[in-house]
Amino acid sequence: MSTDLENTLYIFMLATFLGLEVIRKVSPLLHTPLMSLTNAISAVSVVGAILITGAQGATTLSKVLGFIAITAAVTNIVSGFLITDRMLKMFKKPGGKK
């Protein structure tokens, strides 16, 4: 089990550095859509909420908390991806033509 923790820590370390490098290259033009996109992506935490809510013999407390968590995360996923795309569609190519 502790080797698994070790693996996860390595993944965390690498993902953080990768994230810093990748995000640094994003043009300031797109910082607002970037924020809504990363928000939607991190709402993959819905996976954890599903496992908590859908566990066999989950208590009512687990189900209620899990239910709220899924609702919040799904709201972020749906609105996050859609609004990012809506914003990006507005960035017209130079030349001004649609």
Partner 1 sequence: MAHAVSYIYLISGALFILSLKWMNSPVTARRGVFAGEIGMLMAIAGTLLAFKVFNWEWILAAFFIGTAAGIPIAYIMPMTAVPQRTAMSHACGALAAALVGTAEFYRANQFHEILPTFVMVPLMLETLLGFLTFTGSLMAMGKLQEVLPQRPITYRGQNLTNFTLFGIAAGLAVWLIINPTETWIFPIFAGLALVFGVLLIIPIGGADMPTVIALLNSYAGLSACAMGFVLGNKLLVIAGALDGSSGLILSIIMCKAMNRSFTNVLFGAFGQLQVAHGHAEKRPVRSASPEEAASILEAASSVIIVPGYGLAVAQAQHKIRELYDALMRRGVDVKFAIHPVAGRMPGHMNVLLAEADIPYDRLYEMDDINSEFAQCDVALVIGANDVTNPAARSDKSSPIYGMPILDVDKAHTVMVIKRSMSPGFAGIDNELYYMDKTLMLFGDAKVFVTEILKELPARAAA
Q: Is 5 in the site for partner 1 (CB under 8 A)?
A: yes
Rounded Cα distance between 13 and 59, Å, is 35
Rounded Cα distance between 89 and 30, Å, is 12
Q: Is 20 in the site for partner 1 (CB under 8 A)?
A: yes
**How many positions of this chain bind partner 1 (CB under 8 A)?**
87
Shortest reach from residue 97's CB to partner 1, in Å:
9
Binding mask 51-90 vs partner 1 (x if CB under 8 A, - otherwise)?
Answer: xxxxxxxxx-xxx-xxxxxxxxxxxxxxxxxxxxxxxxxx
Quickly tell me which residue has 């490098």 as its tokens: 21
What residue type is 34 in one-letter code? L
Shortest reach from residue 60's CB to partner 1, in Å:
10
Binding mask 24-53 vs partner 1 (x if CB under 8 A, - otherwise)?
Answer: xxxxxxxxxxxxxxxxxxxxxxxxxxxxxx
Shortest reach from residue 6's CB to partner 1, in Å:
10
Rounded Cα distance between 35 and 39, Å, is 6
Residue 76, token pair as written in the block: 């972020």
Residue 66's CB is within 10 A of a number of other CB atoms, namely: 19
Q: Is 3 in the site for partner 1 (CB under 8 A)?
A: no
